[in-house]
Structure 1
Amino acid sequence: MAARIPVSEVPLFPLNTVLYPGGQLQLRIFEPRYLDLVRECTRTGSAFGVCLILEGAEAGAPALPAAVGTLARIIDFHNREDGLLGIATEGGERFRVLRTRVRSDGLLRGEVQVWPDEVTQQVPVEFALLQTILERLVETMGPHWRHAPRDLYDDAGWLGFRLAELLPLAGDEQQQLLEMTDPIHRLATLRDILPRFQKA
């Protein structure tokens, strides 16, 4: 009998972007509910959930989040030039939202089931072009990955998630790639998308 995946409750931060496992996300915090979220996570060392917005906006009334998101852990914070709080986060495990509730201050909390990490798989030789494309994208768009160990490019999961975050994909495409559980299938999907970005 398969082990039951534990359920936990986390604060949710709906955004107009997708955070992938291992990815980095810079956030500007100004709403009181999210300042409380940062205080809570900093005090307890806990994570919060980042979900793509399906309906609504990042500020104001609580937005409708996608059912699958990624846990974010705060790795740094600073005061920005505009006087607002800036935080740097790193993506951890993916999760599925089972149910949500809205606190009186408008902060969304979700009962979530965390997904196990993907099994590491070697990049098949037919996807070698994707490794080259990622190297070029990192040079121009992802300088924080410039010093990533070379063997990460051989990890199908890491390669797929980094391409998904650096390519100019629509939100629903980003979400579809996040929800895939087979890293080789994710690479195949990305390979099929690539011709759209080739110059005529």
Structure 2
Amino acid sequence: MSENNNWIPLFPLNTVLFPGGVLPLKVFETRYLDMLRECMRSEQPFGVVLIKSGQEVGKAAEPESVGCLTRITEWDMQDLGVMMLRTEGSQRFRIVQQRVLSDQRLEAQITLIEADQVTRPDDVHLQCASTLKLVIDDIDKKGRTAHGVNFASPFALPPQFGNAGWVANRWCEILPISLKARQKLLELTDGRERLGIVHQYLLQHNII
């Protein structure tokens, strides 16, 4: 782990972002429009954190202690005052210290959490990966049928089916589990452990 002594902007949301995950955003609050413009100008990432208590709008919410840095990959502002973005999660972090600015934005000093190690696939990994590929292919096929050339895959390319952490993260995003459960999975520091929990869920629900 390494520490970042600079203050990074936080975006508290009712969602859990995983490394390698795609997060589309529709932003209209002035404070966050200003934050995003500054991030784009300085090429600085921002942190997405699950709201522990509070709301997405209004007074600053209390965030969970572990979140995920994200970078903006696409953006558009067809309507004045409304920014549409496509962002992608990069690295997990733990909040060391946080502060609330005068406009109720959150900033934090963070400790980065090491990325999941890429390990040799085992039977559990291969089962989860092959089923995930079927799910992603089905989503993409239905999306292209419904939206044609305008379809944007909800998954970042290229896929990494040989990476246990990546496979676990994608399952954590699409399984019908609570936000609290997703947060607990995000906080696990071992990608293979995360995948093992996902595997048990898939077995219990007859998905594999």
Alignment TM-score, normalising by the size of structure 2: 0.85
Separation (CA, whole Å) in 2 of partners of 1:174 and 1:90: 17
Q: SS of 2:115's equivalent?
A: coil
**Corresponding residue of 1:76:** 74
Once the two structures are superposed, residues 127-184 of structure 1 have per-residue CA deviations (whole angstroms, 9 ceiling, x without a partner) of 32211221122134464449635xx211111111111112222101111111111111
Separation (CA, whole Å) in 2 of partners of 1:146 and 1:4: 26
Separation (CA, whole Å) in 2 of partners of 1:26 and 1:82: 18
Distance of aligned partners of 1:163 and 1:186 in 2 relative to their CA distance in 1, 3 Å threshold:
same
Separation (CA, whole Å) in 2 of partners of 1:140 and 1:56: 36
**Corresponding residue of 1:168:** 176
**Corresponding residue of 1:148:** 158
| Per-residue deviation, 1:83 | 6.3
Distance of aligned partners of 1:14 and 1:182 in 2 relative to their CA distance in 1, 3 Å threshold:
same
Separation (CA, whole Å) in 1 of partners of 2:37 and 2:59: 21
* Structure-to-structure mapping, 1:45-64, within 5 angstroms: 45-64=43-62
Separation (CA, whole Å) in 2 of partners of 1:177 and 1:97: 17
Backbone CA RMSD of aligned residues = 2.2
* Structure-to-structure mapping, 1:1-200, within 5 angstroms: 5-80=3-78, 84-141=82-139, 143-145=153-155, 148-149=158-159, 152-195=160-203, 197-198=205-206
Alignment TM-score, normalising by the size of structure 1: 0.88
Identity %: 35
- After TM superposition, the runs of 4+ consecutive aligned structure 1 residues lying more than 6 A away are none
Distance of aligned partners of 1:4 and 1:77 in 2 relative to their CA distance in 1, 3 Å threshold:
closer
| Per-residue deviation, 1:80 | 4.9
Alpha carbons 1:8, 1:113 under 8 Å: kept: no
**Amino acid of the structure 2 residue aligned with 1:13:** F
Separation (CA, whole Å) in 2 of partners of 1:33 and 1:146: 28
Most deviating of 135-144 and 105-114? 135-144
Q: SS of 1:133's equivalent?
A: helix
Distance of aligned partners of 1:133 and 1:76 in 2 relative to their CA distance in 1, 3 Å threshold:
same
Alpha carbons 1:49, 1:70 under 8 Å: kept: yes
Runs (5+) with no aligned partner, structure 1: none
**Amino acid of the structure 2 residue aligned with 1:76:** E
Alpha carbons 2:2, 2:111 under 8 Å: kept: no
Distance of aligned partners of 1:81 and 1:133 in 2 relative to their CA distance in 1, 3 Å threshold:
farther
